[in-house]
Amino acid sequence: MAIKLNYQLNIIKNSTASFIFLHGLGGNLKAWRPIVNELSQLAYTTISFDLPGHGDSPNTFSLSDYTQTSIVHQVHQVVAKHKLTNPILVGHCYGGFSALTYTHLYPKDVKRLVLISTTYKLLTPKHSLNSRFIKMVILSLLKNLAPSRQQTYIRDWDLLRLFREIIKTTPSGYFLSVLGALSFNATRYLANISCPTHVIHGVGDSVIPYTLAKELAQKIPKSSLTLVPQANHIIVINQPQTIAKLLSKVGQSIKQAGK
């Protein structure tokens, strides 16, 4: 049974495009706020989601609610209800899995696809990505709960912030999200993605190596790759202005195409 996702919608009258934001594992829609603020000032409509088991969205004990297909159906129901203009789908890491799945299942409902710090499959022995993913989960649980100094730069493996977000929902939702993601593999349909796609990745990403971003861009027909120097996996939080600038260019591409 589908659950009701929490989301924040900011409709701008006469907007030429709408950005749909899907956050990463352990995060929530608040991660996008600085970027959303920038885009709103540029007259773009935005909608940000809390994925199942994250933020203020409910968590269930059913693994079926955490599969990519289920998540995408839940997001699509909300997006379709609001009839957004020229949807630009943006996914970071775990949210990128959902963005790829969404584009596969609803190709006519995505004008542009933006994939940030993500990959097209987790079972990649060549890069040992699955072990990295599992390591990320284990480290998040081993982190102590003592207060720490406010950080201006989030390190890839400093997951205290993510741990706090997990506690806000419950560890069960987090683990079910992990289990639902481990089998993710978009290899078979990448070549069928027909919308212009923008792959953005930090050169210093130690969670998902940027070599995988290169592979991802090569496998999607109408794709471009932007590698951001001195950026890690948490680029959305560490460099929101950079991401907002890149996304504004994506929005401008729709204006220029007259679509």
Distances from the Cα of 92 to the Cα of 27, 125, 199, angstroms? 10, 22, 10
**Local structure of residue 108 (DSSP, 8 states):** G
Amino acid identity of 88? Answer: I
Q: Average pLDDT, stretch 236-249?
A: 97
Which pLDDT score is estimated for 165?
63
- Could you give the CA distance from residue 225 to residue 219 in angstroms, rounded to a whole number? 11
Give the SS3 label for residue 19. Answer: strand
Among 50, 85, 51, 91, which Cα is nearest to 70's?
A: 51
Which secondary-structure segment (H or E) carries 211?
helix 210-219
CA 246 distance to own-chain centroid: 15
pTM of the predicted protein model:
0.89
pLDDT tens figures, 108-161: 999 999 999 999 998 655 545 555 555 555 544 444 333 444 456 777 766 566
**Local structure of residue 51 (DSSP, 8 states):** P
pLDDT tens figures, 40-97: 999 999 999 999 988 899 888 899 999 999 999 999 999 999 999 999 999 999 999 9
Confidence of residue 171 (pLDDT cuts 50, 70, 90): confident
Of 179 and 49, more confident: 49
For every residue of 138-201, DSSP letters joined together read: HHHHHS-----PPPSS--TT--HHHHHHHHHH-HHHHHHHHHHHHT-B-GGGGGG--S-EEEEE
- Could you give the CA distance from residue 201 to residue 182 in angstroms, rounded to a whole number? 21
Mean pLDDT, rounded, of the chain: 87
174, pLDDT greater than 90: no
- Could you give the CA distance from residue 103 to residue 15 in angstroms, rounded to a whole number? 22
Domains in the chain (CATH in brackets) are 7-257 (3.40.50.1820)
